[in-house]
Amino acid sequence: MALPDKTINGVSVKAVLEDFDDDPDGVQRIAERKGKAPEVTIVEPNPEWLEQFQLFNSRITAAFEARDASDEVQQQKESDEASRVTILAINHVGSTSVPGLPAKAVIDIDLVLSENSLSSERFYVPCLEAAGFQFLLREPDWHGHRFFYTDKPMPCNLHVWGPRCPEVERHRIFRNWLLEHCDDRDLYARTKRECADLSKGKGEAVAEYNLRKQGVIREILARAFETLQ
Q: Residue 23: pLDDT band by 50, 70, 90 thresholds?
A: confident
Q: Is residue 20 part of a domain?
A: no
Note the pLDDT tens digit of each residue in 174-193.
999 999 999 999 999 999 99
Whether the link from the prior residue into 47 is cis, omega within 30° of 0, is: no
Q: Is residue 7 part of a domain?
A: no
Concatenating the DSSP letter of every residue in 74-137 gives HHHH---GGGG--EEEEEEESGGGSTT--B-S-EEEEEEES--STTTHHHHHHHHHHTT-EEEE
Q: Is the pLDDT of residue 2 over 50?
A: no
Note the pLDDT tens digit of each residue in 4-15.
578 888 888 888
CATH of the domain at 62: 3.30.460.10
Distance of CA 2 to the CA centre of its chain: 34
Residue 137: which domain range? 38-228
List the beta bridge partners of residue 158: 109, 148
Cα gap 116→33, rounded to integer Å = 22
In percent, how much of the chain has pLDDT > 70? Answer: 92
Q: Is residue 186 part of a domain?
A: yes
The whole-number pLDDT of residue 95 equals 97
Cα gap 50→117, rounded to integer Å = 30
Note the pLDDT tens digit of each residue in 116-136.
999 999 999 999 999 999 999
What is the average pLDDT score of the chain? 90
Q: Is residue 29 part of a domain?
A: no
Cα gap 101→90, rounded to integer Å = 21
Cα gap 65→45, rounded to integer Å = 32
The count of domains in the chain is 1
**Section 154-178 average pLDDT:** 96
Q: Is residue 32 part of a domain?
A: no
**Helix (H/G/I), strand (E/B), else coil: 11:** strand
Report the predicted TM-score, pTM, of the whole model to 2 decimal places. 0.91
